[in-house]
Structure 1
Amino acid sequence: MAELSRREQESLILLIGPPNVGKSVIFNHLSGLHVGMANYPGTTVDYTKGSAVFGGVKATIIDTPGTYTLDATNDAEEVAVAMLKGKPDLVVCVLDASNLESSIYLALQILECRLPTIVTVNRMDLLEEKGLLLDGEALSRELGVPVLTAVALDGDGMYGLRAAIGDVLNGDLTPVPSGIVEASWECAERIRAAAVHGSGRASASIRETIGDASMRPWPGILIAIVVMLAVFSIVLGLGMGLRRFVLLPVFQGYIIPLIVSEVDGLVAPGLFRNILVGEYGFLTKGIEWPFTLIMPYVFSFYLALCILEDSGYLPRLGVLLDGLLGKIGLSGPSIIPLLLGYGCGIPAIISTRTLPSRKNRLMVGLMASLSIPCIAQTGAFISLLAAQSAFALAFVMFLSFASLLLGGAVLNRILPGRRVPMVMEIPDLLVPRAHMIAKKMWIRTQHYIVDAVPPVIVGVAVAATLFETGWMARIGAFMSPLVTEWLHLPQEAAVPLLLGVFRRELTVLPLLDMNLSVLQLVVGSVVALYYVPCIAMMAILYREFGGYYAILTLAVTTAFAFIMGGLIAQAGILLGVM
């Protein structure tokens, strides 16, 4: 770290604190738009890096992975410790006002490093809601460094923090602790008692009552069912509404005809024109599929996920499901990466870094690769099946859930290691803020357009070329024994199996134009559900777990996809419904 600072001739600031404390919000206030992702050398842990000017001094800011202590119990915490050892010019330690004692313990460990440190107590509004007051001067005296307060979501305290950082970098303030305070829970408890005043509220708020109830079997299970139904309603209802009433009319009524008209005027009839705007034209299907069939469900899913994240409900769901997950060797915190997998498998696998054991990480990563369709693939399933048969869609989703549990049980038996008991901090239950949800939605929608749409267009371009040059028919004939005799699908269904390597939803979308029966649609969907993860997911699996598990995942998912799809097709033949 020190080498990085000297090389760039910039001051280096570390932003460190527990997870879910608002570090990222503070980081965004400090760094603005000058932000990028980096990978810590020798690890698979990513961190966010930005730059800004404080009091005329240019500085690099690093938002370290969230950590509860410096005991380094997982990869993310090890990286945070390594960054502190790099001797940064300033550490901004962010404490959680609503869980102050545990945050103070982390601060004491950081102060033992004898680095210039500023303490910022965030989420002050939650402390005040509890009828408590923080004496910032008393906390500053106890810790021996400057203490600021903030409500980062509202921007409160950010100007003062920027000014304090500028004073430190210009040498006007030297925030190095004058004495050494023992980093112990007893000291943390004593310091909190000296700094926090007030008797608190006589009774719990409605949000606290609901939050506590959501973690008990009753009425927690009922609350979970209501929440999941609400999520399903948002994803399906809003997604279908956006698709039918907004995106399809715009693209099919205006954008696609305009593209076809322009191509007709510029390109003579023939092979090249057919590749551009023919049956698999990548300027038509390549735009229509990702934007009208997939994006509405991506948007609606991430809206629901943002609401769950910002409300603080997800950790409570983890507590509620800890017993169920324990049956397959997982613990409550595993529910978060599993749910993220329904958005995209890549962040799901990356987020396993916070899990306490390699066995848990492997289990969740492999379960997400085998049984969890990403939201783009789910959107393709909805587009393919919902109009034909709601039962067929429900059947495919049931298979996904059942194989997730079965796969977890099998992995728990064959992978070495033991179950680690649940350790999870429960944040306050909050009312999500519209402007924060809007920011997250904007970022995630951008990521979908930048990261997911280009591979779809490339995949469609490949399909168009194969179709127009006759290679699609040759591939179909070569794979005919598998595709037509075992899966009982038309020969051209072999091509989506090739395209699925680019993006998982491409295993589904070409089936839309093949005039298949409902059972054939189910067979194709089941094959797509279990089929190989896309190239990006394979790369993440390789990076996180090594080549052995990446190749094993590739082999297992491919075999399982064709076995399950074929069994359903053969059952349909026996029952006379194919």
Structure 2
Amino acid sequence: MSPLLRYPTAIEEGLTRIESLLTQGHQKYSSSCKYPIAKRSLALLLIQGDPVFWEKAKKLEPRFSEIKTVIDYVRSQFSDPLVLVVAKSRHQLSRKIAESSVVNIKKKSQESEEFFHQLTVNPITGFPLAIIIFYFGIYQFIGNFGVGVLVSNLEVFFAKTINPLVNQITATLLPWTILQNLIANEHGIITLGLRYVIAIIFPIVSTFFLMFSLLEDSGYLPRLSLLADRLLKALGLSGRSITPLVLGLGCGTMATLVTRTLESKRERVIATLLLALVVPCSPQLGVILGLLSQSPAALTIWVGTMSFIFVIVGLLTAKILPGDSACFYLEIPPLRMPRVQSILSKTYGRTLWYLKEIIHISILVSILIWLGKLSGLFEILLKELEPIMIWLGLPPSTSSIFLYGFFRRDYGAAAMFDLHRSGILMGRQLIVAAVTLTLFIPCLTQFQLILKQHGLKITLAMTSFIIVLAFLMGYLLNQLLSILEVTF
């Protein structure tokens, strides 16, 4: 009896050959399941690499090496994994059966939904649309509005009103300079820690999560996953990785947590490395976009450098780590007009989570800086970093942004904002600092999560690689811009 489902010729020929090589009856394999197994079904399971029946066949079949040779040959005939080829064939047949037996009465709303769906997933229209969405959603909304309007105004408000008031009240209530420096002045809990959280980090994080919730609630994110799947396959990832990668533009710690949803350990390691290395969190992204947007050439260099490193590191990691890219199956929800209540609820929840995560750390960092200044350790660490800053072509005072960035990435971004505002970081030095800081090691909370998820060995290997690559890329970029005499 001829089977209803016919696979591509190479697979059918392979199945026929494997059936002829199988010597054991189905009873030998039936212990792995409740029902007898036809030879064709067993051959199909072996071609797809089913781990249970693969081990069974290896033990039971005397001609297993010949079976493996046939399977290897069939695999060589396709660019996609055989399990994906088989799934596509089944999907095509199921669609034919459905089309021949089901009558769909399409409404105008369904037709328009299908039109917009194809617009988002077709590479010809999908990629330009994604660029437009990210241009307005990230560059304009977060960069120009979040940083250019909200952060700038809040910073002025703190600098002219809040900080002088706090300094005055603290000086009146606390006669001891040591305690005054803990609460106020240059590195106080309120004047530095809470100022960074309220005036710089909060506006950027809230605008990002608002944009992310809008894309999520509209049903666009799953379509972006579908669109990017083929490109991400080359980097050892799948379309499912889009969610943590995009979420990483908000918070690297939250995104690293979401990598747990990825299928294979290989994919989780690659995604975690790229998040820790290349993907900036929203405060970093917002500050960098806000500072570099004044020079389109500088912004282009930063985006180009990050994209280049993302692709190269992804390709190399995919080559080094054993295994194949995971198959990607995803239920696509309908496109819809985003619901205001849902967007605001998600934005509020995520922003509140982020603030709870960072406020106690900001207080702790201010206390550590205070203790470091009292003991002289802070100045020693800054002095130790100064030769590296000079090697990168940066002012010695920029060592503070990397020391702050070690505790929190957003702290490093806020410190870079302060240095630029004070006129220390300008032109070529600003782009070198932006690239190096973006690539610099993840903050302590993200580091702890990577350690928990992947163990000490992988975490130390990632950290060492990131530190070396960050400073090396900063040095090479500075040398290249100097040789080309590029100015901004």
* TM norm. shorter chain > 0.5: yes
Counterpart residue type for residue 242 of structure 2: I
Tell me which of 459, 463, 471 is aligned to 1:550: 459
User: Superposition pairs for residues 555-574 of structure 1, below 5 Å?
Assistant: 555-574=464-483
Structure 1 residue 558, shift from structure 2 partner: 0.8
Return the alpha-carbon distance in structure 2 between the equivalents of residues 380 and 466 of structure 1: 26
Counterpart residue type for residue 281 of structure 1: G
Counterpart residue type for residue 567 of structure 1: L
Return the alpha-carbon distance in structure 1 between the equivalents of residues 132 and 479 of structure 2: 38
Q: Report the secondary structure of 1:548's partner residue.
A: helix
| 1:346 paired to 2:246 | no
Post-superposition CA distance 1:367-399 (Å, at most 9, x none)? 111110111221332455445x44333422332
Return the alpha-carbon distance in structure 2 between the equivalents of residues 246 and 507 of structure 1: 20
Match of 1:424 in 2: 330
Match of 1:450 in 2: 356
User: Superposition pairs for residues 169-318 of structure 1, below 5 Å?
Assistant: 200-203=105-108, 204-232=110-138, 233-240=140-147, 242-243=149-150, 247-268=154-175, 270-318=177-225
Match of 2:445 in 1: 536
User: Superposition pairs for residues 4-403 of structure 1, below 5 Å?
Assistant: 200-203=105-108, 204-232=110-138, 233-240=140-147, 242-243=149-150, 247-268=154-175, 270-386=177-293, 389-403=295-309
Match of 2:33 in 1: none
Structure 1 residue 425, shift from structure 2 partner: 1.1
Quick check: 2:256–2:450 contact (8 Å CA) kept in 1?
A: yes
Aligned residues: 384
Counterpart residue type for residue 499 of structure 1: Y
Match of 1:410 in 2: 316
Return the alpha-carbon distance in structure 1 between the equivalents of residues 192 and 291 of structure 2: 15
Return the alpha-carbon distance in structure 2 between the equivalents of residues 219 and 489 of structure 1: 42
Residues 390, 271 of structure 1: alpha-carbon distance in 2 compared, 3 angstrom cutoff: farther
Return the alpha-carbon distance in structure 2 between the equivalents of residues 477 and 229 of structure 1: 40
Post-superposition CA distance 1:78-97 (Å, at most 9, x none)? xxxxxxxxxxxxxxxxxxxx
| 1:501 paired to 2:406 | yes
Residues 360, 475 of structure 1: alpha-carbon distance in 2 compared, 3 angstrom cutoff: closer
Residues 384, 488 of structure 1: alpha-carbon distance in 2 compared, 3 angstrom cutoff: same
Quick check: 2:147–2:286 contact (8 Å CA) kept in 1?
A: no
Post-superposition CA distance 1:197-224 (Å, at most 9, x none)? 9964345242332023311123223322
Counterpart residue type for residue 518 of structure 1: G
Structure number having the greater strand percentage:
1
Structure 1 residue 328, shift from structure 2 partner: 2.1
Counterpart residue type for residue 215 of structure 1: V
Structure number having the greater helix percentage:
2
| 1:517 paired to 2:423 | no
Post-superposition CA distance 1:482-520 (Å, at most 9, x none)? 222x12333333333232221012233323236123222
Match of 1:189 in 2: none
Return the alpha-carbon distance in structure 2 between the equivalents of residues 553 and 333 of structure 1: 22
Return the alpha-carbon distance in structure 1 between the equivalents of residues 290 and 135 of structure 2: 20
Residues 543, 268 of structure 1: alpha-carbon distance in 2 compared, 3 angstrom cutoff: same
Residues 519, 471 of structure 1: alpha-carbon distance in 2 compared, 3 angstrom cutoff: farther
Q: Report the secondary structure of 2:190's partner residue.
A: coil
TM-score by length of 1: 0.61
The structure with higher relative contact order (CA 8 Å, sep 6+) is 2
Structure 1 residue 576, shift from structure 2 partner: 5.6
Match of 2:38 in 1: none
Return the alpha-carbon distance in structure 2 between the equivalents of residues 561 and 219 of structure 1: 35
Counterpart residue type for residue 433 of structure 2: G
Residues 214, 415 of structure 1: alpha-carbon distance in 2 compared, 3 angstrom cutoff: same
Post-superposition CA distance 1:534-578 (Å, at most 9, x none)? 111112112222221111111111111111112223334545669
Counterpart residue type for residue 426 of structure 1: I
Farther-moved stretch of structure 1 (415-424 vs 346-355): 346-355
Return the alpha-carbon distance in structure 2 between the equivalents of residues 509 and 554 of structure 1: 22
Return the alpha-carbon distance in structure 2 between the equivalents of residues 569 and 226 of structure 1: 31
Quick check: 1:380–1:505 contact (8 Å CA) kept in 2?
A: no
Match of 1:68 in 2: none
Return the alpha-carbon distance in structure 2 between the equivalents of residues 464 and 396 of structure 1: 34
Counterpart residue type for residue 562 of structure 1: F
Return the alpha-carbon distance in structure 1 between the equivalents of residues 125 and 322 of structure 2: 36
